[in-house]
Structure 1
Amino acid sequence: MGSKGGCGCCSCLCGCLFSCLLSLIFQILFTVLVILALAAFIFWLLFRPNEVKFYVTDASLTQFNYTSNDNTLHYNLALNVSIRNPNKRIGIYYDRIEANAYYQDQRFDTETLTPFYQGHKNTTVLSPVFHGQQLLTLGSSEVSNFDSDKNNGIFGISLRLNIRIRAKLGWIKIGHFKSKIKCGLDVPLTSSGTSSASPFETTRCSFDL
């Protein structure tokens, strides 16, 4: 009888210890979550990060010819891309910038731009130039769209930037982050410095982390 009572007491003690251990673990996890949430709130109060803004402020298209017999696009496109860092305490390292030009969802050129650091509340202008010729296979409906754009004097061209960035918070650097910037542009074709269409309008791009 005494032996059975001893085992019962042992089981009860083990159960209490296990319960106390679980309670301690939950308390530690809860404390860690509270600390992390508080740290994130303090970070936001100190730095108040704002989204970097991308605009295409100017576009010059002096050649955009497509020959269907050899499926070749001849092009000469120059852009000015304005990047605004509105943050007061956050600097940004642009470690890699890949600029891609698309027409009717087909890429016709890629340019790699020079990496740079952008300080607080700073605006930087990039000037990618796409020039050359590229094999581009357009179907009959796409060729019809091209002819329509040519008649209107405005081509729907998409600029897509693939960038890899790091953030600088005081002396701390964090990253790397990969981001995609998309800019849907209506670019007038100019000839001899003049265009029959409306001038290019500054276009804001979408930012996607």
Structure 2
Amino acid sequence: MADEKHASLNGAYYGPPIPPQQGHHWRDRRRGGLRTTLFNLIVAIIVVLGITTLVLWLVFRPSKMKVYVRSATLTEFDLITNNTLHYNLTLDVVIRNPNKRIGIYYDRLEAKAYYEGERFAYSPLPAFYQGHKNTTNLRPVFVGDVPIRLENSDVVDFNREKGEGFFSIDVEIYARIRFKIGSVKTKRFKPDFECELKVPLTTNGSSSAVGFIGTKCDVDF
């Protein structure tokens, strides 16, 4: 009886074949193939966009806009009690688009005025679209009173400039722009227009002997 049981346990199996368990391996290969295809597709799109951008850049060759402060009127600029700055400054700013085939959307513009590195005034400016080879005039106005932090050396410089009849004032215009090439609009850029000015003080209708000299501003992308 023991021999019969032993023979039955070690005998050959003649039933239907048992398929190998390969389901997990097949799903893993399928997922890996999908990931590879998706990666290749993303790379192809990036390459096409890069080549298109390069071709458009080479064809149209966009140039930076040109920015000038044509005139500046400073009727009040004085330190009163508690280092409070009393000011009234108006600028005439010219922005020129030198491109023949590229328009510019100015989605946001704001001007800020600084003295001795301290911001003392802010002026929002209107958004606009600028066509090819076009010039736009802006008129930021800064009026008010504001406490300003000045070191003793800064106060000395202030009094010296007041005696000379002009003040060194920096104005920065912060922009958010998009270029338009045909019907295509680019991503948004954030250039700054930095203007270092020497502005004569005008009081009672008279100004210093040396008037304001038109100033070109640096365009920094």
TM-score when scaled to structure 1? Answer: 0.80
Write the distance in 2 (CA, Å) between the matches of 1:164 and 1:40: 20
Percent identity reads: 50
What are the residue-to-residue correspondences of 1:131-170 with 2, within 5 Å? 131-170=143-182
Moved more, 136-145 or 190-199: 190-199
Residues 183-207 of structure 1 deviation map (CA, whole Å, 9 limit, x = unaligned): 0000000112221231101101111
Task: Look up the SS of the partner of 1:194 in the other structure.
Answer: coil
Aligned to 1:82: 94
Write the distance in 1 (CA, Å) between the matches of 2:111 and 2:177: 15
Write the distance in 2 (CA, Å) between the matches of 1:115 and 1:51: 18
- Could you tell me which of 44, 47, 69 is aligned with 1:56? 69
Residue 167 of structure 1 and its aligned partner are, at CA, apart by: 0.7
Aligned to 1:42: 55
Residues 91-128 of structure 1 deviation map (CA, whole Å, 9 limit, x = unaligned): 00111101000011000011111100000000001000
TM-score when scaled to structure 2? Answer: 0.76
Letter in 2 for 1:58: S
Residue 175 of structure 1 and its aligned partner are, at CA, apart by: 1.8
1:109 aligns with 2:121: yes
Structure 1 segments of 4 or more deviating over 3 A? Answer: 35-42
Q: How many equivalent residue pairs? A: 183
> Which protein has the larger Cα radius of gyration, Structure 1 or Structure 2?
2
Unaligned runs of 5+ in 1: 1-28
Quick check: which one's strand share is greater?
Answer: 1
Write the distance in 2 (CA, Å) between the matches of 1:70 and 1:38: 59
Aligned to 2:79: 66
Aligned to 2:10: none
Unaligned runs of 5+ in 2: 1-42
